Amino acid sequence: MTLRPGEDASLRAGGATRHEVCAVALADAFRGDGEILASPIGVLPGIAARLARATFAPDLLMSDGVAALVNIDGAVEGWLPYRTVFDVVWSGRRHVIMGASQIDRHGNQNIACIGDPQKPKAQLLGMRGAPGNTINHTTSYWIPSHSRRSFVPKVDVVTGVGYDRAAALGARAARFHEIRRVVTDLAVLDFATPDHAMRLASLHPGVTLADVIEKTGFPLSFVEPVATTRAPTDVELDLLRRVIDPRGVGAREVSA
């Protein structure tokens, strides 16, 4: 099979590349969501949402980012003006996939700055909508480079609210709070533990448990043998390569 630009043979899992495995893992985050608004932020999350919509999640609502609801080809299906988005957000009927410059074992996210907030080493995006996103509806994360710089014992600033902080805020704040999963270039992680500490759910094909432990800055929960992240089906591969991402743009987000 011929590699497309940006693909690395070492990242292949059978007939699929690593970024295609990541796309499927991100798409699977939307399973069971029903008719809610999907808000995938980033290239590969956008590819994943379209894949989910085209296969197992036909009721998923997708926005063009302005005021229209669209299908996987970009054709307009409905109208969602900006003022209405907040009604959707505040009622728990949205699932956003965001990035994270830092994330800790309870899912607290940082996209604001690195270092002391009073005198940061690096200024990042800022709070953006992360606090409201994480309190009001389901959130997942896409981190394309799994490392100790991203997976830290304590985030420098809390932008996205993790399970420990949501619990401390009380039942009202936590009623729609759910961090569904964290997908990286190495693995899928979730919070399916009694104390909602991050758990290693699956390793991408070709990745070892030692690889993930070495690149995570806090102890991970896991049960051996750790499952392997599923590979795309033939139908999913066809959709990814022929319809959704024919130029292989998603490969640019996954480092070799």
Taking only the tens place, the pLDDT of each residue in 17-57 is: 999 999 999 999 999 999 999 999 999 999 999 999 999 99
Residue 112: inside a domain: yes
Q: Determine the structural domain holding residue 176 and report its residue range.
A: 9-247
**C-alpha to C-alpha distance for 188 and 201, rounded to whole angstroms:** 6
pTM: 0.92
The predicted model gives 98-107 an average pLDDT of 98
Cβ atoms within 10 Å of 221's Cβ, excluding its own:
17
Q: Does position 173 have pLDDT exceeding 60, yes or no?
A: yes
Residue 170: inside a domain: yes
How many domains is the chain partitioned into structurally?
Answer: 1
**C-alpha to C-alpha distance for 204 and 220, rounded to whole angstroms:** 16
Of the candidates 61, 30, 69, 75, which has an alpha carbon nearest to the alpha carbon of residue 181? Answer: 30
**Tens of pLDDT along 113-141?**
999 999 999 999 999 889 999 999 999 99
Residue 213: inside a domain: yes
Token pair 């979730």 is found at 190
Residue 2: inside a domain: no
Residue 253: inside a domain: no
Q: What's the chain's average pLDDT?
A: 92
**C-alpha to C-alpha distance for 91 and 78, rounded to whole angstroms:** 19
Q: What is the total residue count of the chain?
A: 256
Q: Which residues does 198 contact at the CB level (< 8 Å), separation at least 6?
A: 105, 106, 107, 182, 189, 190, 191, 218, 220, 221
Residue 4: inside a domain: no
Residue 240: inside a domain: yes
Q: Does position 10 have pLDDT exceeding 60, yes or no?
A: no
**Tens of pLDDT along 175-216?**
899 999 999 999 999 999 999 999 999 999 999 999 999 999
The domain that holds 41 is classified in CATH as 3.40.1080.10
Residue 256: inside a domain: no
